[in-house]
Amino acid sequence: MKRVFSGIQPTGEIHIGNYLGAIRNWVKIGEQIGKEAIFCIVDYHAITIPHEAKQLPQLTFDAALANMAAGLDPNKITLFAQSHVREHVELGWVFTTQTPLGDLERMTQFKDKSEQHSILAGLLMYPVLQAADILLYKADTVPVGEDQIQHIELTREIARRFNYRFASESQPIFPEPKASIDKNAARVLGLDGAGKMSKSKGNTIGVLEPQETIWQNIRVAPTDPARVRRTDPGNPDVCVMFAYHKLFSSLENIEMVNTECRRAGIGCVDCKKLLMQGIWQELEPIQAKAAYLQDHPNEVTDALVSGADYCRGIAQDTMLEVREAIGLLPLESRRPS
């Protein structure tokens, strides 16, 4: 792993699925490769579906703040907003001119999203801009979830095609990045227990949500449906609360719940209160950091400015190579030789 790139949607708040499934892994990557761990808040991507222009700057800022509070330390890693490095769009355009329409229409995410939103050309081109995001920095590794593998395959294809057309075999311009799936990443179930935790399903626990709201949601969350009365023995294996215990509670408490639930030795309310303690132990320091950053917003904006400065340098070098390779007239040339 020499350089890692990952995009963060500016959806404001993050939930524990994002935190346990991605951010904790990013923090570990940052400890290994420092500044070369590049995390980008993808505001250009956010406008490929209808959005509120007045809200987007705040959402972008909030995404930076939330990720910093959850552990991304801009003194170690690189964090920036995509629109602050305009070369993303330029390389995106270059790749657009080289990508067959059929490759984009095949993308599963495009098919899904186009069922929910009116089809803007930008939605179709989303994976091309994503390829530009990654290849602009010649990243060799992209940490992703399973649903993004198809996009990384397309990125590899775009790099291959570009190298074949515009570079020599011995000196390719772009490396072919590999997708990295964190095997230890938790797949966090939603509060309803019906599937993955997801904002669109409304089944999340927000990392920055007030303690009281989290408790209200946990208090009414479903448990083992077969456990109707307090005296009924339960099965923790079918209960989402037990899945959360495994993520947040001590080994001792996990074993206790596993045993006592099966013989009705613990009631669901007490089990949930115990779970709440574990969750709050994890989230309290994150919320304290978020409150500090709310009071010191310059720390967030300064991080984004220096992140963008660092990335712009790399991006401009890449674009010099790309412009020359595809035959654009250099700005300083009056007359092509």
Q: Which is nearer to ligand SF4, 45 or 272 (CB)?
A: 272
Known catalytic membership, residue 246: no
Task: Please tell me which residue in 28, 35, 76, 199 is annotated as part of the active site.
Answer: 199
Q: Are 42 and 7 in contact (CB under 8 A)?
A: yes
Phi/psi at 290 (5° precision): -65, -40
Separation of alpha carbons 67 and 81, rounded Å: 13
Detail the DSSP E strand segments found in 144-198. Answer: 178-180
Separation of alpha carbons 161 and 60, rounded Å: 33
Site membership for ligand SF4, residue 191 (CB under 6 A): no
Known catalytic membership, residue 113: yes
Known catalytic membership, residue 201: no
Residues with Cβ < 8 Å from 83, sequence gap 6 or more? 43, 44
Beta bridge partners of 189: 196
Q: Are 186 and 18 in contact (CB under 8 A)?
A: no
Q: Which is nearer to ligand SF4, 199 or 262 (CB)?
A: 262
Separation of alpha carbons 4 and 15, rounded Å: 23
Minimum CB separation of residue 203 from ligand SF4 in Å reads 16
Separation of alpha carbons 4 and 78, rounded Å: 10
Task: Please tell me which residue in 196, 201, 272, 273 is annotated as part of the active site.
Answer: 196
Site membership for ligand SF4, residue 223 (CB under 6 A): yes
Site membership for ligand SF4, residue 19 (CB under 6 A): no
Q: Which is nearer to ligand SF4, 159 or 239 (CB)?
A: 239
Site membership for ligand SF4, residue 278 (CB under 6 A): no
Q: Which is nearer to ligand SF4, 176 or 260 (CB)?
A: 260
Strand order in the sheet with 78-81: 78-81, 37-41, 4-8, 141-143, 178-180
**Long-range contacts of 298-302, Cβ-Cβ distance < 8 Å, separation of 24 or more:** 299/68, 300/61, 300/64, 300/65, 300/68, 301/61
Quote the tokens at residue 151. Answer: 């996009």
Site membership for ligand SF4, residue 242 (CB under 6 A): yes
Site membership for ligand SF4, residue 234 (CB under 6 A): yes
| Interface stretch with ligand SF4, choices 172-180, 189-197, 267-275, 301-309 (CB under 6 A) | 267-275
- Residues 43, 62, 87, 224: which binds ligand SF4 (CB under 6 A)? 224
Q: Which is nearer to ligand SF4, 88 or 227 (CB)?
A: 227
Site membership for ligand SF4, residue 206 (CB under 6 A): no
Task: Please tell me which residue in 113, 138, 183, 201 is annotated as part of the active site.
Answer: 113
- Residues with catalytic annotation? 113, 196, 199
Give the interface with ligand SF4 as residue ranges (CB under 6 A): 223-224, 227, 234, 236, 239, 241-242, 257, 261, 266, 268, 271-272
